[in-house]
Chain A
Amino acid sequence: MAERNMSPNKTPIPEQDPQVRNKNFDEVALGYTEEMAVSEAARCLQCKNRPCVAGCPVNVQIPEFINLIANRDFAGAYKKIKETNSLPAVCGRVCPQETQCEAKCIRGIKGDSVGIGRLERFAADWAMKNLDEKAEMPKRNGHKVAVLGAGPAGLTCAGDLAMLGYDVTIFEAFHKGGGVLVYGIPEFRLPKAIVQAEIDKLGEIGVKLETNILAGKVISIPELFEEEGFDAIFIGTGAGLPMFMHIPGENYNGVFSANEYLTRTNLMKAYSEEAATPMIRFKKVAVVGGGNVAMDSARCAQRLGADTVYIVYRRSMEEMPARQEEVHHAIEEGIVFNILTNPTQIIGDDKGYVKGIECIKMELGEPDASGRRRPIPIEGSEFVLDVDAVIMALGTNPNPIISDNTPDLEVNKKGCILADEETGATSIPGVFAGGDIVTGAATVILAMGAGKVAATAIDKYIQEKK
């Protein structure tokens, strides 16, 4: 065992220089070297009560895998993570560790918490580079499960069920699996080759992926049971519908939902010369919103050649829902933050293209229902930002295609599928659901957690029915 590292500071992770990376789509954080990882792993106190594990939605055995890294058993560390987490290379990059596992770390009381996310990423990347063994195909139990949607919830549920011996088919509406991991989160935060490698690994354990299938429309829930012989169904179709502000000028050319802007850029690879999907190279861009999706959009716009990119957010930095790390990266890269500012209208030229966005200054009043101080417009403070594109990153609503086509499936007022928290069971026997389609827009890891819970419940359901 290496000697414990009592430094109060997390081992820094090497990153591309901000002024270089804001012009390319290569990954920002470069990852730990073996020495860095071993040294950071030695900061873990190996607490008996393991508070970090309680903070993980998929129950990764954190002190155990970190101990294996500290002892240079990198393959062992990877396998330990894989026991409960089917997408470690993804989680190591995009999980909000600072509010989950790392928030509970004892080292965080006096100094930085252990860099759990960075270590998870290290183990996954190390395995991808150095481990060449194919996963063993689990013995089949003769039961079929359909998974609708190949995003984080669906992939996790499919992986767990395949490990238990189920014959799993994922139906995906897009031409590629990965969901938000491929259409939403940009290449520089989560390289698509990594997502593809994780999906390929699911293929090794027998998971089938059928793309271009819009479940609910092309195949209905009853047909999956009756005609295709599935024993159970998991719905993980996500929250895909973009919200707009309903202010004047929102349909001018150059106004995008973040979904469209990011899908063009990421999934359709509009940043590369080879891709046929067009993207206008805007010079001045305003991104409306303060979440991770807003940060991703702004940083994409910068990389696609914009001189100036503004974040327009109606509350203050403190209330911003984006991860601190993302905000920090955006600031480093030169994104301009217009906080306490809210758009009132979008201004177009005579050809119908955006030429500016009119905003009003805000001040914070009493806390609202969300517990955050309510932003109130300051009368007469309107001003115009000259921009040629506006990206609306205001959040998304659940995709209604399955619920619209499945009358027996109960949903709430917002269109979220009603599912039991403990099992993911819906109002239709044998149909389970999880991820954003149940919770509304949330995080990758929460969706993965829901996929995991449902996999356990589906196994129980099928075994009891026999």
Chain B
Amino acid sequence: MYKILKKRDLNESNVLMEIEAPRVVKKALPGQFVILRVDENGERIPLTIAGVDHETGGVRVIFQKVGYSTTLLGEKNEGDYICDFAGPLGKPTDFEDFKKVIVVGGGLGCAIAYPIAKALFDKGVEVDLVVGFKTKDLIILEDEMKEAATRLHIMTDDGSYGKKGFTTDGLDAVLAEDPNYDAVFVFGPPIMMKFIAQVTKKYGVKTIVSMNPIMIDGTGMCGGCRITVGGETKFACVDGPDFDGHLVDWDEFMRRSAMYKEQEAEAMAKHKCRMEGMS
């Protein structure tokens, strides 16, 4: 059993948790992920590591209460336990010897964009952090992100905070001014990553995307997480999760990500029914 050391609601649907897993803390590097199960009947859900606390032995994850299992996790509180927590999995992000980069985060993707930006920034890399949210109320980690970048560009879809527009607009503006960046790192929903990759292609800037497909074991065993990169099939769990955004077959990726949509909606409806029945 793994103890929830800390829980913080970042907004209505996004939750930050620190879960006690000292073995994971010891080895975790930016870009890697964990797989957890909430309870005995739970499914294995992959979440990217959003940070670690070497003192408490806690691993930070940030998730959106969007499906049945994440909703269940979100109902847990500090001091509660979850059943399983395994990691670190996947390859760490390769920072090569970049000097000047852009990190893009969309919505919940900022949970990962932030620690990556911070790791680079702390190494002395010049970092532009371009983040986007639907609206002002959904902004997360603003204070933290300010400390993790040379320049922070906040975008909102409705213009309620920062500049109005999508992350693609924000990125395009940065690159239009100066296309001489070594790399762009992208964290966010698949559709956003697809369009970001189109923008960076226009400017010819290397683009690294963090893929988060459906998976079970996270060790290369099931092959459920396969994606096509440059015409070749890759397993995101062991070959990734980072890939060249210009080579990913985005349409296939989005199709595969939606594979269990109906089943997930059913499970969610059942859960809501039970919860309402209880109250």
Query: Which A residues form the contact surface with B (CB < 8 A)?
Result: 173-175, 211-214, 217-219, 240-242, 244, 246, 250-251, 253-254, 256-257, 259-260, 263-264, 268-269, 274-280, 351-352, 399-401
List B222-250 residues whose CB lies under 8 Å from chain A: 222-224, 226-228, 233, 238
Q: A242-B221, A259-B222, A260-B216 are in contact. Are A214 and B44 (CB under 8 A)?
A: no
B68 to A276, Cβ gap below 8 A? Answer: yes
Q: A251-B228, A259-B221 are in contact. Are A280 and B260 (CB under 8 A)?
A: yes
Cα distance, A19 to B23, chains bound together (Å): 49
Listed stretches B78-86, B132-140, B189-197, B198-206; interface member:
B78-86
- List 14 A-B residue pairs with CB atoms under 8 Å apart, sorted by A's residue number: A173-B219, A175-B44, A242-B221, A246-B233, A250-B233, A257-B222, A259-B223, A260-B216, A268-B43, A268-B44, A276-B72, A280-B259, A351-B255, A400-B220
Cα distance, A264 to B43, chains bound together (Å): 9
Cα distance, A174 to B68, chains bound together (Å): 21
Cα distance, A94 to B54, chains bound together (Å): 46
A278 to B221, Cβ gap below 8 A? Answer: no
In the complex, chain A residues whose CB is within 8 Å of the CB of B224: 256-257, 260
A219 to B23, Cβ gap below 8 A? Answer: yes
Interchain nearest-CB distance for B202 vs A (Å): 27
- Told that A244-B223, A259-B221, A260-B216 touch, could you supply 11 new A-B pairs with CB distance under 8 A? A175-B37, A213-B23, A213-B86, A251-B256, A254-B259, A256-B224, A257-B222, A263-B221, A276-B42, A278-B267, A352-B252
Query: Which B residues form the contact surface with A (CB < 8 A)?
Result: 23-24, 27, 37, 41-44, 68-69, 72, 83-89, 216-217, 219-224, 226-228, 233, 238, 252, 255-256, 259-260, 262-264, 267
Interface centre among A244, A251, A259 (most CB of B within 10 A): A251
A212 to B84, Cβ gap below 8 A? Answer: yes
Interface centre among B37, B216, B256 (most CB of A within 10 A): B216
Cα distance, A253 to B262, chains bound together (Å): 13
- The chain A residue sitting closest to B215, CB to CB, is A260
Interchain nearest-CB distance for A268 vs B (Å): 6
A175 to B84, Cβ gap below 8 A? Answer: yes
A263 to B219, Cβ gap below 8 A? Answer: no
Interchain nearest-CB distance for B11 vs A (Å): 25
Cα distance, A260 to B44, chains bound together (Å): 13
Q: A242-B223, A263-B222, A277-B43 are in contact. Are A268 and B238 (CB under 8 A)?
A: no
In the complex, chain A residues whose CB is within 8 Å of the CB of B72: 276
Cα distance, A257 to B226, chains bound together (Å): 11
B23 to A253, Cβ gap below 8 A? Answer: no
In the complex, chain A residues whose CB is within 8 Å of the CB of B69: 276
In the complex, chain A residues whose CB is within 8 Å of the CB of B37: 175
In the complex, chain B residues whose CB is within 8 Å of the CB of A254: 259
Interchain nearest-CB distance for B49 vs A (Å): 13
Q: Which of A214, A218, A244, A280 contacts B263 (CB 8 A)?
A: A280
- The chain A residue sitting closest to B222, CB to CB, is A260
- The chain A residue sitting closest to B68, CB to CB, is A276
Q: A214-B89, A218-B88, A278-B267 are in contact. Are A244 and B42 (CB under 8 A)?
A: no
In the complex, chain A residues whose CB is within 8 Å of the CB of B41: 269, 274-276
Cα distance, A212 to B255, chains bound together (Å): 30
Cα distance, A218 to B86, chains bound together (Å): 9
A278 to B260, Cβ gap below 8 A? Answer: yes
Q: Which of B24, B68, B217, B228 contacts A263 (CB 8 A)?
A: B217
